[in-house]
Amino acid sequence: MLKKEYFSILSFYAISPIHAGSGASVATVDLPIQRERHTGYPIIQASGVKGAMRDHFRNFFEDNKDNKNVKEVINYIFGSDKQDDWSEKESLPGAISLSDAKLLAFPVRSNVAPFVWVTCPTVLERFKRDLEYLGIKKNLTYDSVSKNKAITLKGAETFKGNYDVLLEEALVKIDNNTEENKDELVEFICENFLEIKTLLLISDEMFDYCVTCCTEIQTNIKINAEKGTAEDGSPRYQEFLPADSFLYSLVCFSAQSKDKNSFAAKTIKDYIQSNIKDFLQIGGDVTLGKGICNIKWIDADKEQE
């Protein structure tokens, strides 16, 4: 574990589809979402997460009479930025550092329920390593699963009597149809991500199919106001991470001091967690109601063994 004063896990539960864009593309999808280069798994880059948190402060606290110096506080917490009237010649680094928001559980349409959440051994192993970075050690017994098989991690009652389960257009067979298999890491997920009701462990290959072929694609058409017909270049296809996706980001807090102003790490941590809570908008298309996430903080110091 690196020497930092405080750590937390910030979890994201997508209430509406999220478009954290990666720019224009010449492929079938014109506006794809951000993905890891080596795995292709959807992510939200750390700059987008930090920017959303900063924007939350800027929008909701700059007009508060009790927070006259909120822009200065924002610069101390998130780093200097001209948008927040930073007048110092010397730039100031932020007091928090955070990781990309990584995918933990992905919702997929199924025949046994409107949808079920899926994860895979690679995702669980990554989550285990991320917890170890925070000083939380949890054992993981699931290092692999057969390509067309699935293991019930939560919600075994949903799959009783259904040995064959459809995930979108793929068929998997439940290995443990009568009970849930849990280890320490799975228990940690079930205790801290309560909205996950039915969780299946599928193979890395099947998970790759789900996150590649089962994202949401929306068609955008621009109408010519005079003609009432589609503009040239329409339609445009935009990709979204579907609602009910679960992601998480690691957040590190450190002390910040500048001249006579000093902020302890715990003060910064408490201030952020008391003001950024419940809901946060992230990504594009805010006027269309996209990117609304229910967020929760999991304190690493309380979870350490």
* Domain ranges, residue 272: 1-20+46-99+242-305
Domain boundary pick from 199, 214, 229: 214
Tokens of 68: 């006259």
What pLDDT does 93 receive?
78
Nearest to 53 by CA among 257, 217, 279: 279
Same domain as 155, residue 94: no
> What are the distances in angstroms from CA 16 to CA 27, 122, 277, 279, 280?
25, 26, 17, 11, 11
Same domain as 2, residue 57: yes
- Domain assignment present for residue 237? The answer is no
Beta-bridged to residue 108, according to DSSP, are 116
219 alpha-carbon distance from chain centroid: 24
- Domain assignment present for residue 92? The answer is yes
What pLDDT does 229 receive?
67
**pTM reported for the whole predicted model:** 0.88
Residue 43's contacts (CB-CB under 8 Å, 6 or more residues apart) are: 20, 34, 35, 36, 100, 101, 102, 103, 247
Instruction: Give tens-digit pLDDT for 81-102.
Output: 766 666 555 677 788 899 999 9
271: exposed, middle or buried (Cβ count in 10 Å: 0-12, 13-18, 19+) = middle
What pLDDT does 1 receive?
46
Tokens of 42: 């959807």
For residue 74, the domain's CATH number is: 2.40.30
- Domain assignment present for residue 227? The answer is no
What pLDDT does 303 receive?
63
229 three-class SS: coil
239 three-class SS: strand
Instruction: Give tens-digit pLDDT for 167-213.
Output: 999 999 998 744 555 689 999 999 999 999 999 999 999 999 999 99
SS3 percent helix, strand, coil of the chain, rounded to 5, is 25, 30, 45
What pLDDT does 178 receive?
45
- The total domain count for the chain is 2
Could you report the average pLDDT of every consecutive run of 10 residues in the chain (305 residues)? 75 96 76 94 96 86 61 80 62 85 97 94 96 92 89 87 86 72 86 94 96 92 71 80 97 72 77 90 92 94 63
Same domain as 204, residue 169: yes
The residue length of the chain stands at 305
Same domain as 195, residue 144: yes
